[in-house]
Amino acid sequence: MLFQKFKSVVTALFVALLPGHALAQDGSLTVELNKTEASDNGGCSAFFLFRNETNNSFEGFEMSLAILDTQGVIDRLLSIDAAPLPVSRTTLKLFEVPEIACDNISEILLHDLTSCRPQNGDEMDCFPILTLRSKANAALVK
């Protein structure tokens, strides 16, 4: 009986020390669509805030987004690179959504994280630590 408990504790410690596991326990990474405004080229400027409340800086952070129109139909796919994301900082990034007016965007869907790489680390699955928010008229969802 004592051996089984010891084995369970050792297994739990081993899993906790695996690369990437500690990051999932150390805070969150919030992506906020803060505002949108019309751009001069007829598209939409999207202002994103990235709040890195983890214990790691990210040298890779790329998102693949689906832009949905007011009917809920996918208008286009957009890939954005938000790196670098320094530890314990809020970073502002501006991205252009071409050829669609801001009022015609109902939702932005994060359908894939094509890169999430901590500085000096391996690619990891960041969905568990990711929080999405929107203060704009368009929703930001996963």
Per-residue model confidence as pLDDT tens digits over 101-117: 999 999 999 999 999 99
Q: List per-block mean pLDDT (blocks of 10 residues) for the chain, which spans 142 residues.
A: 43 42 65 97 96 96 98 96 97 96 97 96 95 98 95
Domains of the chain: 27-141 (2.60.40)
Which candidate, 79, 69, 133, 128, places its Cα nearest to that of 103?
A: 69
Please compute Rg for the chain using Cα positions.
Answer: 19
Residue 139, pLDDT score = 98
Taking only the tens place, the pLDDT of each residue in 32-46 is: 999 999 999 899 999
Query: Is-above-0.85 flag for pTM?
Result: no
Q: What pLDDT shows up at residue 26?
A: 67
